[in-house]
Structure 1
Amino acid sequence: MKAPVLITKHYILKFYKPPTPETHKGIQGHAVTIAGSYGKIGAAVLSSKAALKSGCGLVTAFIPKCGYQIMQVAIPEVMVVTDEYSNSITNINLPIVPQAIGIGPGIGQEPATQKAMLQFLKNNKAPLVIDADGLNILSQNQSWMEFFPEKTILTPHLKELERLIGNWNSDAEKFQKTIDFSKKNKVIIVMKGAPTFIINQNKIFQNTTGNAALATAGSGDVLTGIITGLLAQGYEPEQAAKLSVYLHGLTADIALPETGYQSFTASDIIQYLGKAFLKLENQSI
């Protein structure tokens, strides 16, 4: 395996685009998160709030009906569209055409949800991020990848990656299988771990931020939201993935002296995103 390109602050600043003074919400992008099921509406809250806090102008969450009040109270800034069914997603019907969509956090793997995901993939043309249960559904239905927009971003942790590409006996085999998978399906893989790697066909990037505090429930849901938000703002998929993992890790580096490893939560990632942007832009924090 060739040496990966390191994702450093200097590297990120080559393509980072701070908002212009003349900007408004209508040109900062509209992101959609398709997330949640009964007992897992928190995944929709985390991913939607992260998309908003990434600088996205507008965010709409598509969720089952059971999460409506939770979402409206937890994040009043996010618009909500609900499925006709109460406990899970069964029919994805979006009243808008967004600039990017993230699907998968907490959606479960009910047969009706799987059917809804297939129909959604057949109709969708927007840049796409797939995570969590979306990946688990995909691992059982790999032919569905033919419906992906090119450079769709998949964000597996190692167990989800294994379900997609099969098991491996060494790091070298893991990377080769991931590269082959990326080439075959024209997807970008965010291989979550310590450290996180991004594989885009033959290109390999290694993130340089983050620490063990990120090993906490909901951390991946937040990352999905950040990537979706940056995609909606017009970043190319590879750039959105690189900037997202860098900022995601940076929040934990900034927060660590205050929270310690044990008490850092996924909500803290969102809380510290502003400071991560400021640090990237060389302002005081």
Structure 2
Amino acid sequence: MKNPIRIHKKEILKRYRPIGAHTHKGIQGHALLIGGSYGKMGAMTLCSKACLKTGCGLVTVFVPRCGYRILQIAIPEVMVLTDIAVKYISKILIDFVPQAIGIGPGIGQDIETQTAIHRFIKTNKIPLVIDADGLNIMSQNKDWLTFLPNKTIFTPHQKELERLIGKWNSEVEKFEKTIAFSKQNNLIIVMKGAPTFIIDGEMIYENTTGNAALATAGTGDVLTGIITSLMAQSYEPIDAAILGVYLHGLTADIALPETGFQSFIASDVIANIGKAYLSLEK
């Protein structure tokens, strides 16, 4: 196994592109986020707000009908499309072409949702980020991996990773299995943890930002929104993953003096994305 490349500010500045003075929302990318189910609409609220705050020009969410009012009221800047089903996603129908798609936050594992995801990924060619129950559904249906666009980004925590690659007995074996899984399926794996590693075939990147404050509900949904936003802004998948993880961790480093570890919540990541960007421009 190669030594990981450590992701410091210097590495980030090679990849980061400041916003052009004459940009407009039409060229800042349109992201689509698919997810949510009854009782888990908060995941999509966090994900879509993070997506906007990371600089995406337009964000559309596709949610079950029960999520319509929640999203429209919680985040007026987001456009909302709804499923025919009330409590979960049953059929994914989209009437536009986004630049990137994030799928999975709060989506649940209802059998109809699994069928909907299967139908969707069989025809989708747009760059993709898969998280949460989207990953759990993929781990139960590994033959679907062949349908995914090259360099689709998976963002598993430890348990989700185990379901995808099987159990491991050591850190070395965990990395060997993840690298093999990434190469075999041409995927980028964001291995969430302390620290977070990004695996792209043989290439391993180790993030240097973040702290224990991030160990709280919803921070993964926020990360999905951040990475999807960067891909919609036409960053290459590997650069979107590296920059997204770095910014996400940096928000916790910036907020910590004010919040402490205990009172930091996922919304604080979103609230500090602007400051994280500003620190890159210094």
| TM-score in terms of structure 1 length | 0.98
State whether structure 2 residue 49 is matched by structure 1 residue 49: yes
Task: Report the alpha carbon displacement of residue 41 of structure 1 after superposing the two structures with TM.
Answer: 0.3
Question: Any idea what the Cα deviations from partners look like across 1:198-235, whole Å, max 9, x if unmatched?
Answer: 00000000000000000000000000000000000000
Instruction: Please give the alpha-carbon distance, in whole angstroms, between the structure 2 residues aligned to 1:137 and 1:87.
Output: 18
CA distance in 2, matches of 1:35, 1:267: 18
1:245-260 paired onto structure 2 within 5 Å? 245-260=245-260
Runs of 4 or more above 6 Å deviation: none
Separation in 2 of the partners of 1:15 and 1:48? 23
What displacement does 1:35 show?
1.2
One-letter amino acid of the structure 1 residue matched with residue 84 of structure 2: E
Distance 1:125 1:31 in 2: 14
For residue 214 of structure 2, what is the aligned residue in structure 1? 214
Q: How many residues align?
A: 282
- SS of alignment partner, residue 189 of structure 2: strand
Which residue pairs with 2:228 in the alignment? 228
Indicate the SS of the match to 1:194: coil
Superposition RMSD on alpha carbons, in Å?
A: 0.4
> Partner residue of 2:165?
165
- 1:127 matched residue in structure 2: 127
Q: Is this contact kept in 1: 2:105–2:134, CA < 8 A?
A: yes
Q: Which amino acid aligns with 2:95?
A: P
State how far apart, in whole Å, the 2-side matches of 1:232 and 1:114 are.
Answer: 25
Cα drift, residue 240 of structure 1: 0.1
Which residue pairs with 1:176 in the alignment?
Answer: 176
Distance between the aligned counterparts of 1:31 and 1:114, measured in 2?
22
Amino acid at match of 2:109: Q
Q: Name the counterpart of 2:36.
A: 36
State the match for 2:8 in structure 1. 8
CA contact (8 A) 2:2 2:202 kept: no
Which string of whole-angstrom CA distances, capped at 9 and with x for unpartnered residues, describes residues 60-105 of structure 1?
A: 0000000100000000000000000000000000111000000000
- AA of the residue aligned to 1:111: I
**Contact 2:2–2:203 (CA under 8 A) maintained in structure 1:** no
The gaps in structure 2 that reach 5 residues or longer are none
Q: Secondary structure of 1:13's partner?
A: helix
- Share of identical aligned residues, percent? 68
User: 2:34, 2:102 within 8 Å by CA — same for their partners in 1?
Assistant: yes
CA distance in 2, matches of 1:15, 1:45: 28
TM-score, normalising length: structure 2: 1.00
For residue 189 of structure 1, report the CA deviation from its aligned partner. Answer: 0.1
Q: Alpha-carbon deviations, 1:161-189, whole Å to 9, x = none?
A: 00000000000000000000000000000
Letter in 2 for 1:66: C
